[in-house]
Structure 1
Amino acid sequence: MSDDTGTHLYTPQVVEQKKPNVKQEFQTIEEAFQFYNAYARECGFSARMSTSKRKKGTNELIWKQFVCFKEGETNEHYQKKEKHTVQRSGERNRGLVRVGCKAKMTVVKSQTGPNWIVSQFVEEHNHALASPSKIHLLRSHRVVSAAKRGLSQQLSEANIPMCQQIRVLEIEAGGPQNIGCVEKDIRTYGQRVRDEQKDNDAELLIEFFSSEEEKNPTFYFKYELDEESRLVRCFWADPFARRSYHFFGDVVVFDTTYNTNKYDMIFAPLARVNHHGQTVIFGCALLSGETTESFIWLFNQLLDAMPRGAPQVIITDQDPAMTKAIAQVLPSTCHRYCIWHILNKFAEKINTMVYRDNYHWFKNIICNSETIEEFETSWAELLKNSNLGDNTWLRQMYEIRNKWVPVYFNHIFNAGMLSSQRAENSHAFFKRYISNKNSLMDFIVRFNRTINHQRHDELVADHIDVNEQPKLKTMCPMETQMVKIYTKRNFIIFQGELFESSAYFLSCTFEDDESMFYSVRKASRSCSSRNRQLKYNKLSDSVSCSCRLFNFNGIPCRHILAYFRIKQVMFLPSEYILRRWTKSAKIGEVWDNNGQEMKDHDDMSLVTRHASLSRACSNLIDDASLTVEGTKFILNEIELLRGKIKKMNGDGMTMPETTSKRSTKELPSINNPSHVRSKGCGKRFKNPKEMLVSKSRLCRECGLRGQQHNKRNCPRLQERSTMNDQDINSNSASEDDDLTSHAGSNLHGAKRS
């Protein structure tokens, strides 16, 4: 047997061993085809199933034929069409494969038993056979194994494109010819899986959540359907998130994002800040609309799921539906708007020239006012001086000032957050893994991957706190005390305040029976520093500062630390140590409303068992693969172990964990959600003022920006040049008059002479 070059490639002894024989028996049709396909691989051709016959009456299969992939002829009508038709753009240009090859193997059902008997075998081919280097390209020898399917799915979850997945498989297999399939096969498999999920995507999602609930009763999820049984909203929170909310759920950042799934359902994560200052998601929802009804449902689920109840502070954007829902469901929660979004709107809402001259004054008044009276007086004065008293947007912002100006809420703990940018940063993080092409199940799988990444970062920070200690800057006992209590991030903030406190001094300004008031000033006054006011309460033995940093951030400010230094308080009192910023913030048991303890993970869960076995096997493979003998030994032992495990599971000694005890029949019929058109969808067009700022050039003459305004056509420069031209013309006219008069006098003199 030879290939297309005529050289002998296949060992006759091997081919003879694989060759089918007439009257050879097989137990099943599949076994017969596998045998013929293995023979085809040795020879260098691809096999496929061909015609079959069934018994009349019973429709029982009694005859089957396997042929070479070049068997038969291409349809004559198709050939004529190809000869006389010009190929259109984008039309597939498929070559002709079938050349009437007669090689085949026929099997018939045995009349005395269930076996199949080879009744005919034709060996000869009328075409060249493939060489061993091209066998992996033949269709019947390309198989996407279960291992490759699993690996491809894992790589897809990490957003690795298909072309790079093939490179990984090539490295793993030792070359593209050893993969066992081509890129097209893996793409086809992925498309087939997506097609299977197309009609029952929402049902698979609810099945997955039901499975998680069965594995761990403290997993929480709820969903709602509309009149057409379409999924309209869904909320979920795992035990780790619910337990974490108990410790860090005092301040919540809530923001919606889009383009996370192919239905454009709104992804609404609830974020918080842990004791390392990291943004972590503790609850999520998928909504089919940004309506008040949807947000009311979501916040009610938050109250039902989380063990500590309503948050103390929630930060959102200026969405009216969101604002109305929070006022109704969370009346005791301090609702704040993101100050960053509002400050960015100043450039859009006021005149460009006025914005340039007054924005820094607006920002200073908003961010640095210490009292409400100071803010309101300075605001009114600035509006008067800038002639912005009639600006509608500024008037509206002033009416809701208690929701975004810090002086109105900095007496409440806000974990140091003024904006919702932490939530937006988490959106950017999610978009590394999630796209608007994902199905709901793809979204959940990738979302879980990102959550695990976030939680691993928290684990790394915990590890650093246990094994590393920041360097000390002073010999102060308070610094030595707090380096053991605070996490690294919070200690560095505290250390900076403690170091700066040495530059401040106090002077008593007033004293009565209950309080003492101090003025705190910096030793070297700068134009940016201002005196702060400290109040010492004699009854409660506590001190507070007018900067309110401790109330807002939870870490003592430099002014309070200066007071402790002067009063020789060596160690920070416990009332100034907020537990949520300490290393022991997460220590303690947490119970849900049903009396069940919430743990980070179930010790006996399938995931935990799988992880422990994976680590053990990985170490074993690393050692065994160093030698050929070790590899063979491990392979033999693995086969023996697999047989024992299958027998163990089959005998019912250890019941395998099912994905869900509730079958799809017990769940209501759930249709996929309809596509959502969100408030933030569509292309955003810039207003003229934004275009003016973004596209205009800077004039080096007057320092302003303007559309079609630069040094060449600056009005100020043109005005100056016009004035210069007038001066030049007037000077030229006077010079001409002098010349004329001088010339006239000469002329008259000449005449006289």
Structure 2
Amino acid sequence: MANALDEWMSSKDEFYIPQVRDDKKPKAGLAFKSLDETYEFYNNYAKDAGFSVRISKEKKKKETGEVFWKRYICFKEGETDETWRKKKDSESTQIERERGNVRENCKAKLTVVYDGFNFVVKTFIEEHTHPLATPSRVHLLRSHRGVSDTKIKLVKKFSNVNIPLYQQFELLETQAGGHESVGFIERDLRNFERDEREKIKGHDAKMLYEYFKSEEDKDSDFFFKFEIDNNNNRMTRCFWVDSVARKAYTHFGDVVVFDTTYNTNRYAMIFAPLVGVNHHGQTTIFGCGFLSNETFDSFVWLLETWLEAMKVPSIVIITDQDQAMTKAIAQVLPNTFHRYCVWHILNKFQEKMGYFAHHNYYALFKTAIWESETVEEFEKSWYEALEISQPSSKEWFEEMYKLRGTWIPAYVKQYFYAGMSSSQRAESMHAFFKRYCSKSNSLMDFVTRFNRALAHLRHEELVADHGDLNEKPNIKLGMPMENQMVGMYTKKYFYKFQKELLESNSYMVNVTGEDENCWIYKIQKFDANSRVQTLVHDKISNLLKCNCGLFDFEGILCKHMLAFFRVKQIMQLPEYIMRRWTKFSRIGSEKFKVQDGADNSLILRHTSLFQLASKLIDGATVSEEGTQLVQKSFE
């Protein structure tokens, strides 16, 4: 009785028999100019026939090393090596990927011999010992799969913007018109990425150094510094900043946020960006570093390197409560005011208070922190909140009270913070960079993707500049001061100013005291129960100071000061225009180009040809004649 396979193979309805044209079949005596041409012909035949080709053996001339005999075989030639299989099984009880038997002792082959001019077919065996692949499955066979150079560059472009690999394949499949037309399968992409990682293994830091050197050659203001562990020949830390970031620092570097909470690469090195805020309220980058650890020495090195690049220290730096960072800032930036991030501290309140106390009394602490406008008011409210809530970790609250001069608004009002009281801006940057980068990136991959993210940020600034040039915010009050500032502030900060100006009309102003140096005013809403603000008008400098602190904190006049100007009939805003919020503080016309190592000209050529071919195909497929004509032309 014939076995099931024999019955299946003998069935014409179920066993696929390929129909290959005679002119596409090899035959004895057929000559080829090269081995590449030989392989291409046999592999094309194999695709039509439904099998995959492997290169088997070759013979070379001893004198010259030139190949004079070569054999190509079916991928199912030979038998599974049982010795290898037993060795593999004995080495590990955990097999990562189960592989079945592929080889079935198939005898199909092609042999060529060099006759001094051409490679001539000597032997061609057509018959196979196994079922052949149907046209719908032939694209899965190994010798008919290959990731072209163009596809590789496209894939690298996709990777640079952090498109997941499965989505990359979906894009290619959609573009090609089906899985079978892509030319490879998703696993080939994964294997390619694996091989690329292996290529740069051990060379990543060197590649990054060479990249920074090339950037330095192109941009005289590009600055970078590397430090290598001589024992392990491994990069331990580095810092870099380009000319655009250095110029941005000259305009907006008065307040800097420094945060190191994001591990970005496969080496678990810490990404350490220094960021600030530009004239549109957008995040801007002042330099970046990689650190292998968060020690005092690492922070000192990074801050000293950053200061070497920027020349002038910032006025304020905002960080979390890292003690090593605190010591490093005190040493390297002794004249910079170091403020702790309020957001980080508030996030610890639930843990330190206990669930019940936090649920019932956390609002008391928030009121004490945010609504106290004087030191005395804060201390009274803080102790009342402590007395009522009885938090579980009183020691922590005592420590936070000792540090109140570094984070409580009532204590730090004398400095300008550009509207920032926490390192959340840096953390939002981390979230933004995660759209482009991942922990599987090499250092060079990360910097390439970081550059793309940076280009996106800078383009957003360009968009905002363009908006300010072409769009005028709506005037609501028609006041001369409003008309003055609509032409000066960027749109974002004009709307902030306009809001304060609008609300200032609800306040009345009364003199409450005077001495030889100043007048003191009481500013209050027409509602008698509203909070009273104190305004001091210095007679010598002619400057105002409001105890709400908005102008000191953010550089925008508060409603209380604007109410004073209204009462005094001051129509044009004097003195109190902070240049960093105006349209005139923009950096300039730098071109934000992305250098990602890919051949952009190749991508452009591919895109233009693809678009042209798509139009041609759309028109041709309307009729059978058009389809045949275009197909013949392509062939």
TM range (shorter): 0.7 to 0.9
Pair 56,205 (structure 1): closer, same or farther in 2 beyond 3 Å: same
SS at match of 1:536: strand
Pair 537,76 (structure 1): closer, same or farther in 2 beyond 3 Å: closer
In structure 2, the partner of 1:278 is 282
Pair 628,585 (structure 1): closer, same or farther in 2 beyond 3 Å: same
* CA positional deviation for 1:559: 0.7
* CA positional deviation for 1:11: 5.0
Contact 2:19 2:49 in 1 (8 A): yes
Is 1:108 the counterpart of 2:122? The answer is: no
Is 1:24 the counterpart of 2:31? The answer is: yes
Contact 1:370 1:547 in 2 (8 A): yes
Mapping 1:264-663, distance limit 5 Å: 264-306=268-310, 309-350=312-353, 359-376=362-379, 379=382, 391-526=394-529, 529-573=530-574, 575-587=575-587, 599-601=590-592, 622=611, 625-627=614-616
Deviates more, 1:463-472 or 1:187-196: 463-472
Contact 1:243 1:600 in 2 (8 A): no
Contact 1:4 1:131 in 2 (8 A): no
Contact 1:258 1:264 in 2 (8 A): no
Mapping 1:54-93, distance limit 5 Å: 54-56=60-62, 60-75=66-81, 90=95, 92-93=97-98
Q: Matched residues in 1 for 2:239 and 2:132: separation?
A: 59
In structure 2, the partner of 1:244 is 248
Contact 2:490 2:582 in 1 (8 A): yes
In structure 1, the partner of 2:3 is none
SS at match of 1:159: coil
Contact 1:101 1:126 in 2 (8 A): yes
In structure 2, the partner of 1:133 is 136
- 1:572-630 per-position Cα deviation (integer Å, ceiling 9, x unaligned): 12x211111112212569xxxxxxxxx4447xx97899779977986786567434599
SS at match of 1:565: helix
* CA positional deviation for 1:397: 2.2
The letter for the 2-side match of 1:104 is: K
- 1:281-324 per-position Cα deviation (integer Å, ceiling 9, x unaligned): 331111011111100111111112226x2111100011111011
SS at match of 1:166: helix
Is 1:175 the counterpart of 2:182? The answer is: no
In structure 1, the partner of 2:5 is none
Q: Matched residues in 2 for 1:344 and 1:43: separation?
A: 67
Is 1:160 the counterpart of 2:163? The answer is: yes
Deviates more, 1:331-340 or 1:479-488: 479-488
- 1:497-554 per-position Cα deviation (integer Å, ceiling 9, x unaligned): 001100111111223444222111111133xx32112222333332221222111110
Pair 72,214 (structure 1): closer, same or farther in 2 beyond 3 Å: same
* CA positional deviation for 1:126: 4.3
In structure 1, the partner of 2:261 is 257
* CA positional deviation for 1:361: 3.7
* CA positional deviation for 1:329: 0.7
Pair 525,150 (structure 1): closer, same or farther in 2 beyond 3 Å: farther
The letter for the 2-side match of 1:566 is: V
Please point out which of 169, 183, 187 is paired with 1:184: 187
Contact 1:256 1:267 in 2 (8 A): yes
- Percent identical across equivalent pairs? 50
Q: Matched residues in 1 for 2:501 and 2:558: separation?
A: 8
Contact 2:153 2:603 in 1 (8 A): no
Deviates more, 1:354-363 or 1:413-422: 354-363
- 1:360-393 per-position Cα deviation (integer Å, ceiling 9, x unaligned): 4433333233333444455567667778899433
In structure 1, the partner of 2:624 is none
Contact 2:16 2:132 in 1 (8 A): no
Pair 95,315 (structure 1): closer, same or farther in 2 beyond 3 Å: same
SS at match of 1:626: helix
The letter for the 2-side match of 1:560 is: M
Pair 150,550 (structure 1): closer, same or farther in 2 beyond 3 Å: same
Contact 2:265 2:446 in 1 (8 A): yes
Pair 43,264 (structure 1): closer, same or farther in 2 beyond 3 Å: same
The letter for the 2-side match of 1:256 is: T
Please point out which of 19, 22, 26 is paired with 1:10: 19
Deviates more, 1:538-547 or 1:488-497: 538-547
Q: Matched residues in 1 for 2:131 and 2:565: separation?
A: 93
SS at match of 2:583: coil
SS at match of 1:584: helix
* CA positional deviation for 1:450: 2.4
Q: How many residues align?
A: 609
The letter for the 1-side match of 2:581 is: W
Pair 469,617 (structure 1): closer, same or farther in 2 beyond 3 Å: farther
Contact 2:247 2:587 in 1 (8 A): no
Pair 473,620 (structure 1): closer, same or farther in 2 beyond 3 Å: farther
Q: Matched residues in 1 for 2:152 and 2:372: separation?
A: 60
Structure 1 segments unaligned to the other structure (5+ residues): 590-598, 632-753
Is 1:35 the counterpart of 2:46? The answer is: no
Q: Matched residues in 1 for 2:547 and 2:94: separation?
A: 74
Pair 5,280 (structure 1): closer, same or farther in 2 beyond 3 Å: same
Q: Matched residues in 1 for 2:87 and 2:399: separation?
A: 72
Contact 2:252 2:276 in 1 (8 A): yes
- 1:238-297 per-position Cα deviation (integer Å, ceiling 9, x unaligned): 222222222111111111123321221111111111111122333111101111110011
Contact 2:153 2:598 in 1 (8 A): no
Pair 616,96 (structure 1): closer, same or farther in 2 beyond 3 Å: closer
The letter for the 2-side match of 1:152 is: V
Contact 2:354 2:391 in 1 (8 A): no
Contact 1:155 1:165 in 2 (8 A): yes
SS at match of 1:506: strand
Query: What TM-score results when the alignment is normalised by the length of structure 1?
Result: 0.73
* CA positional deviation for 1:569: 1.3
- 1:420-472 per-position Cα deviation (integer Å, ceiling 9, x unaligned): 11112222222333332222223223322322332233233223222323322
Deviates more, 1:257-266 or 1:510-519: 510-519
Contact 2:150 2:606 in 1 (8 A): no
In structure 2, the partner of 1:233 is 237
Q: Matched residues in 2 for 1:81 and 1:210: separation?
A: 48
Contact 2:255 2:417 in 1 (8 A): yes
Pair 94,416 (structure 1): closer, same or farther in 2 beyond 3 Å: closer
Contact 1:46 1:69 in 2 (8 A): yes
Pair 135,357 (structure 1): closer, same or farther in 2 beyond 3 Å: closer
Q: Matched residues in 1 for 2:82 and 2:355: separation?
A: 74
Contact 2:20 2:49 in 1 (8 A): no
The letter for the 1-side match of 2:570 is: V
- 1:630-658 per-position Cα deviation (integer Å, ceiling 9, x unaligned): 99xxxxxxxxxxxxxxxxxxxxxxxxxxx
Q: Matched residues in 2 for 1:72 and 1:91: separation?
A: 25
Pair 326,98 (structure 1): closer, same or farther in 2 beyond 3 Å: same
Query: What TM-score results when the alignment is normalised by the length of structure 2?
Result: 0.86
The letter for the 1-side match of 2:439 is: N
